[in-house]
Amino acid sequence: MSIIGNKISERRKAKGLTQEELAELSKVNLRTIQRIENDENEPRGKTLILICEVLDINVEDLLNIKNETNYTANNLIYGYTLATKGTRFLANLIETLIFSVIIFIPYTLYTLSSLEEFHNIDSNPIGIQFAAIFGLIVGAIFYPIFTGNLGHRIFGLKVISSETGKDFNKASGGAIRELLKGVFSFFIIPIIWILWDEKNQNLYDKLTKTVVVDKNSKV
C-alpha cells in the first residue's frame, strides 16, 4: 500500500469509519476510496483535500511524509534525481582545477619565490588549516548564490536537506559543509565513502544531513 493510501486507511479505522461512511462524508465515490486504500490509485487535488478534511489530516504533512520516503530504484529523493558518483567526482575535479589555477598555483609560486619561504623550506602553504579556512569562505559565498559550490553550479547540481528536502542555501550551513569537505579530503575519506554509499553521498553529506541532486530533475 502506498504511503498516502496507508495513512488514509489507518486514520479512517482510528476514527471508526467504514469505507462507505468515509465516501459519504467526503462526497468521494466509494470505488475511489477502495482503489486508494488498495494502492490502485493515488488521490490528488480536490479528492485528496475532501478525504483529508473528513479524517482531520493535514494535506501538506501527508505529502511531506510521502516525499520523505520517496527514495526509489530510480534514485529519487524529494522529487529530485540524486547526483551520480561520476558527476559528483567530475564536479569536484573541475572545481579543484579552477581554484588551483586562480588561487593555489599563484599562491604557491609566490611563497616559493619569497626569501622568507626559501629559508623555511618545510613550510606548507596549502595545509589542512588553509583548506578549512578556504572551505569556510567558499561555502559562505557560493551556497546562498548557487545552493552549492562552484562545481555543483557548473554541472547543474544543488544541495538540499536530507531531512526536509529544502534548498541548502544558508551561508552558515554552506561554510560548515565545505569546511568538512576540505578537511576530510586530506584523509581521502570522501572518496572512499561515496564508492559504497547507496545515495552517492560523502561523509560530510551525512554529517550535515544533506544530499546532492540534479536541480533540473524535479518531478
CB 153 within 8 A of CB 146: yes
Residue-wise pLDDT for 31-77, tens only, equals 988 888 887 777 778 888 888 888 888 877 776 665 555 544 457 78
pLDDT at 153: 95
Integer Cα distance of 202 and 174 in angstroms: 15
Helix (H) or strand (E) holding 49, with range, is helix 45-55
Helix (H) or strand (E) holding 42, with range, is none
Residue-wise pLDDT for 136-158, tens only, equals 999 999 999 999 999 999 999 99
Burial of 106 (0-12, 13-18, 19+ CB in 10 A): exposed
Enumerate domains of the chain plus CATH numbers. Answer: 3-69 (1.10.260.40), 80-214 (no CATH)
Q: Give the least confident one: 1-15, 62-76, 161-175, 186-200.
A: 62-76
pLDDT at 193: 63
Nearest to 176 by CA among 204, 212, 211, 213: 204
Name residue 93's amino acid: L
Mean pLDDT of 150-176: 94
- Say whether pLDDT at 192 is over 70: no
CB 204 within 8 A of CB 88: no
- Say whether pLDDT at 3 is over 80: no
Instruction: Name, in order, each residue with C-beta under 8 angstroms of 104's C-beta and a sequence gap of 6 or more.
Output: 126
Q: Give the least confident one: 83-87, 142-146, 170-174.
A: 83-87
- Total-model pTM: 0.60
Return the ∠ at Cα 87 (arms to 106 and 180), rounded to 5°. 60
